[in-house]
Chains A and B, each alone.
Chain A
Amino acid sequence: MEDKTAYFDNSASTRLDERVFEAMKPYYFDTYAVATSEFAYSMGIDAKEALEEARSTIADSLNASPGEIVFTSGSTESSNMAIKGVTSALKKKGKHLIVSKIEDFPVLNTAKALEKQGFEVDFIEVDDTGRLNTEQLAETITDETVLVSIQHANQEIGTLQDLESISNICREKGVLLHTDATHSFTRVPIDVQKIPVDLITVASHTIHGPRGVGGLYIRKDTPINKWMDGGFQEFNLRAGLENIPGAVGFAKAVELVTEEENRQIKALRDHLIERISSEITDVILNGSKEHRSPHNANITLHYVEGESLTLHLDMRGFAVSTGSACFSRSLEASHVILGIGGDHERAHGSLRFTFSRYNTLEETDAMVDAIKEIVAQLREISPLYEKK
């Protein structure tokens, strides 16, 4: 048994980078004042400056203005704020909302909650690689549509949507667009000067930043209501004590992501896909080959069950996740794998590998070797596998 876990579940959470932790520390021990105390004492000015500097860093990463970034407690809050805030501000215009079928839970379940309150929600289909049919999107938009929310990269299969076409369609039809970029932020850049998206959910926990911090980009003049009542923080849009150490850590994490690192992560990911596809029979890559976030691989290994695979891998020191129903908290197969036209069987034996800064070639190779052995062992006892 290995001493250290080789962690390949970086879309769930990442290891905090020491440099991020060091950047955050002074805002717990020295400059711990609230930013809104700037007129009372100097520590408040320092706190306010740190917060605004962090805001500028996040804004720069999207080519946005600092006044368009609001800090939140993470992507769940950001997406709730975007969807509930905009639909509330535009309730006179209509009660129609469009999301994709394979959104992550913050968007999917916010849409379902609004449906219960009388909104009409269309859940747009995706093709077998997870890409949205943009023509169908255009046809679904009506005069009543107040918001379209389509993710950038998928949380499970990594498929990237054609955000440029989607945003242009929304712009032409005069409808606001929100995108959940939790699983692409800094790995696949978005330039808001080139892509007319109105709201973007971003988060820190996927890029070695602290958890419990996120942000929402809100394009200038976008109608949005405050949805959580309290103080006047964050341009009177997000009430509550500012998480300054969190914001500073988030900004540091954004600064530390480089193009070179993204290339390395992608190379490692490609190596994993290449080895599994060529060395194990009866496997499928779930999601798009070309339109894919660089750190994600999702592979179905037929005739075996995902939770058995992950448990065996865990016992050998490798952490991965699966779309199997046995693994999920609702005992349901992954709605993403089912959404791309897969059946329960495809979800049942699916493994998701998500890479980070800390993964190495050695551990990736060791994991593939382990998977080969475990799959052979589990197929041996599977009633579906015809021994060859």
Chain B
Amino acid sequence: MKFPYSEKVLDHFKNPRNVGKIENPDGKGLEGSPACGDMVAVYLNVNSETLVIEDIKFESYGCASNIATASIITEMAKGKTLEEAKNISWKQATEELGGLPTVKAHCSVLAVEGLRAAIRDYEEKHGLVSEKETTTEEVVRRRLKHVMNPMAGLDIVRTELVTKIEINEGSVRILIDLPSDHQFASAIKEDILEKVESLWDIEEVKVVFTE
């Protein structure tokens, strides 16, 4: 039989590692993508002295690439310090899995974000986070690096789909170099809104496509 995924992806999909919930976890992250509907929850137990992740579990309401990425990322993060785990990139996770179809990138990025959200949750609860920063073009660009271009399997910043970012008194305007009736326009737009709307000092996000 032929499958659209690597053997390692299929293995992690069929037998996901570290599945389940941790009761009263030290840190918890829940990430959802309105663009595809997937959701992933990551639970952490952290050694407060060494800041090493001692236990990690995940739950997924998602497709094969979401489940497989969440599974491999829990394996990669276990035993690492928070700082080390924070730096596990989506690229490293997919390489570890032997690659993913480009169109599936955004489902798998979610798993990486779930881990980061759980780490952030731990840091916030334990007073390890610095002051909130004001949203600048750079901050928005950083967020947009987590929005996938399904045609390339790379983010929309790196693939130069983002042509302009304007910030004006709590309102952000993002220009995307795609026609509005492009096959992936709606999916990309929803993903951008999800990533940028949550910025604490932003009230309105506009995504503008080229005609």
Footprint of B on A, CB under 8 Å? 1, 112, 303-308, 311-312, 314-315, 324-327, 329-333, 344-345, 347-348, 380-384
In the complex the two chains form, is A383's CB within 8 Å of B34's CB? Answer: no
Footprint of A on B, CB under 8 Å? 1, 3, 5, 10, 13-14, 16, 19-21, 30, 34-41, 58-64, 66-67, 103-104, 106-107, 150, 181, 183-184, 186-187
In the complex the two chains form, is B63's CB within 8 Å of A308's CB? Answer: yes
A114, chain B: closest CB distance, angstroms: 13
In the complex the two chains form, is B106's CB within 8 Å of A384's CB? Answer: no
Residues from chain B with a CB closer than 8 A to the CB of A333 are: 37
Residues from chain A with a CB closer than 8 A to the CB of B20 are: 381
Q: How many A-B residue pairs have CB under 8 A?
A: 89
Question: B61 touches which one: A1, A325, A384 (CB < 8 A)?
Answer: A384
Question: B39 touches which one: A1, A331, A347, A384 (CB < 8 A)?
Answer: A384
B58, chain A: closest CB distance, angstroms: 8
B71, chain A: closest CB distance, angstroms: 10
Q: Closest residue of chain A to B104, judged by CB?
A: A326
Residues from chain A with a CB closer than 8 A to the CB of B14 are: 312, 315
In the complex the two chains form, is B60's CB within 8 Å of A381's CB? Answer: yes
In the complex the two chains form, is A311's CB within 8 Å of B13's CB? Answer: yes
In the complex the two chains form, is B59's CB within 8 Å of A325's CB? Answer: no
In the complex the two chains form, is B181's CB within 8 Å of A305's CB? Answer: no
Question: In the docked arrangement, what's the CA distance between A303 and B16, Å?
Answer: 17
In the complex the two chains form, is B187's CB within 8 Å of A325's CB? Answer: yes
Question: In the docked arrangement, what's the CA distance between A315 and B4, Å?
Answer: 12
Question: In the docked arrangement, what's the CA distance between A71 and B16, Å?
Answer: 51
Which 5 pairs across A and B sit closest by C-beta, in order of nearness?
A307-B63, A331-B187, A326-B63, A383-B59, A383-B41
Residues from chain A with a CB closer than 8 A to the CB of B5 are: 311
B100, chain A: closest CB distance, angstroms: 12
In the complex the two chains form, is A332's CB within 8 Å of B61's CB? Answer: no
Question: A308 touches which one: B3, B59, B62, B104 (CB < 8 A)?
Answer: B62
Question: In the docked arrangement, what's the CA distance between A314 and B13, Å?
Answer: 13
